[in-house]
Structure 1
């Protein structure tokens, strides 16, 4: 029996497991970040959901800027 490949997440609101899969973070880390209000989330009654667009903005806002490229780095000396 051939199993279909899982389809990419296409809904706008994601649950904890989907956010964990989407970001590569563990569900425990996501729960911790929610409790510390370090990640954008939506409360719908007792449900915690994540708006994909807000999550993408949050991820983009946490990108680290590169100071210089490898092409401009001085070559390493032997033994250093």
Structure 2
């Protein structure tokens, strides 16, 4: 079964973006997240949707 919620470290590996950039996106409300206690998690499906929206298709 595939893991649905990612930690920030898992997300940095998944999308190859530095940790600081992810924190900036969270603070700017550009990246949806789930807060569980004091921990921040990211829904992989939400991340995949964002990536799909930003794809540039070739003609």
The reply to whether TM is greater than 0.5 is yes
**Could you list the per-position Cα deviations for residues 24-77 of structure 1 after superposition, in whole angstroms to 9, with x for gaps in the alignment?**
1011111111111111211112211001111111111111233x4xxxxxxxxx
Root-mean-square deviation (CA), in Å? 1.2
Correspondence 1:22-41 to 2 at 5 A: 22-41=14-33
Question: What is the Cα deviation at residue 11 of structure 1?
Answer: 1.2
The structure whose residues are more often helix, as a share, is 2
Structure 1: give runs of 5+ residues left out of the alignment. Answer: 1-9, 69-80
**Larger Rg: 1 or 2?**
1
**Which among 20, 40, 43 is matched to residue 48 of structure 1?**
40
Aligned residues, how many? Answer: 58
Q: Given the alignment of the two structures, is residue 12 of structure 1 paired with residue 14 of structure 2, yes or no?
A: no
The structure whose residues are more often strand, as a share, is 2
